[in-house]
């Protein structure tokens, strides 16, 4: 009698174990896999964004270098003009700096 009761308990536990697997564990596992795929896509998107950001930074550094060189050339031309024509031209970008010589 005891063996038969254990068999029934084993069958019932097996049934509920299978039911738990299909009702809870399988959907949970699928959700975890979907979350993992979403995180992988997010990592790829972040990597692409970082690469674009780095490219923009490099371009911006080039533009900054060109602008500095242009300002230097303009300053040279202004200084040359001021010396040859004996005038003082106010500099817009040197606001707050001393312009007197």
Q: End-to-end CA distance of the chain, in Å?
A: 114
Say which residue, 40 or 82, is predicted with more confidence. Answer: 40
pLDDT band at 8 (very low <50, low <70, confident <90, very high): confident
pLDDT at 101: 41
pLDDT at 33: 96
**Percentage of the chain lying above the pLDDT 90 cut:** 54
pLDDT (tens digit per residue) in 57-99: 999 999 999 999 999 999 999 999 999 999 888 877 655 555 4
Contacts 24+ apart (CB under 8 A), 85-91: none
What is the residue-averaged pLDDT of the chain? 88
- pTM for this one? 0.54
């Amino acid at each position: 009698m005891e063996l038969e009761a254990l068999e029934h308990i084993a069958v019932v536990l097996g049934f509920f174990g299978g039911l738990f697997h299909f009702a809870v564990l399988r959907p949970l596992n699928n959700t975890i896999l979907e979350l993992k795929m979403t995180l992988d896509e997010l990592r790829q998107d972040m990597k692409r964004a970082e690469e674009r950001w780095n490219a923009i930074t490099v371009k911006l550094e080039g533009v900054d270098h060109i602008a500095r060189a242009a300002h230097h050339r303009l300053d040279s031309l202004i200084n040359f003009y001021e010396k040859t024509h004996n005038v003082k031209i106010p500099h817009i970008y040197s606001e707050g700096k001393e312009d007197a010589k």
